[in-house]
Homo-oligomer: A and B are copies of this chain.
């Protein structure tokens, strides 16, 4: 392994000078700087970050806290897309991203212990509010952090504007003439579920529409079956008085609900209009193609990285505790005008 000592010897200067050169500190003449760089290049020098981290107490490492539950971890497209984007942005600043486990060597440990063990400069929190307990010690610590999922005390939060998205969906349906609008909610223990649900109620109130309990069905998990179950339930409960439109909490259940309606002989959008949320890839290929609300996960990941790194580097900023990313209505063919 090539070290700064090797370079110093080769160039004929002190190791500390080499260090300064690599850190672009002032106080190194152009000449020696040049010689150092050439020597480093020719000898194949790469800095050892462990040594650097030990000396500086800065690891250039960001930890990510992911739930390992099926359907909510990295394997969920929502989070993996955000993570991908976060990682790219963090990389631009010189930070690497490491997954934090809940064990240390062979024994159980807390996330906080793991943060200390790795000396991370900050963490990305991507676990839902249900798991607050597991991360409470890091929340209580002074580790820099950002969340993309739930509001944790004074932890900055970067998340889609679910209220805005819901309004876009609902206003659109309203505009098309729909007044009997049902809602299939995401699980309300998730921020996404809760906020969309609240927005739905607020919308009804704002339009002077009555809240028909028959038109509201809550799901308990993020699985595709929920759409099927919800649609079936809706059909049973509302026989003879079916809603003319449904606002589904997210695309997966929107399209499985759509399929279910169709299987029962209802035409979409002629008999019933459907709007989803998320604009997942699938939505463009269903029959009919699904009208939905797009959320910008790339931007979420980038902003989260920006916020976290600014906080790590103590850049003066107006530390916004909550950043909402705008959503967008994507009109396709699952909704129609009624009179």
Residues of A within 8 A of B (CB): 1, 46-51, 53-54, 59-61, 68, 73-75, 77, 80-81, 83-84, 87-88, 91-92, 94, 96-106, 113-114, 116-119, 224, 228, 252, 255-256, 259, 262-263, 281-282, 284-287
Contacts and interface: CB of A to CB of B under 8 A. Distances in A.
Contacts of A252: 281
A338 B123 CA distance: 58
Contacts of A81: 75
B98 A46 contact: no
Contacts of A284: 224
Given A74-B80, A94-B104, A49 B118 contact: yes
27 contacts: A1-B116, A46-B113, A47-B117, A48-B117, A49-B117, A50-B59, A60-B105, A68-B84, A75-B77, A75-B84, A77-B77, A77-B80, A87-B101, A92-B103, A94-B103, A94-B104, A94-B105, A94-B106, A96-B118, A97-B99, A224-B284, A224-B285, A252-B281, A256-B285, A259-B285, A259-B286, A259-B287
B50 A50 contact: yes
Contacts of A94: 103-106
A119 B119 CA distance: 15
Contacts of A116: 1, 46, 48
Number of copies: 2
A87 B224 CA distance: 26
Contacts of A224: 281-282, 284-285
A88 B74 contact: no
A287 B286 CA distance: 10
Nearest to A1: B116
Contacts of A80: 74-75, 77, 80
A102 B97 CA distance: 13
A169 B92 CA distance: 45
Contact of A100 (B68, B96, B117): B96
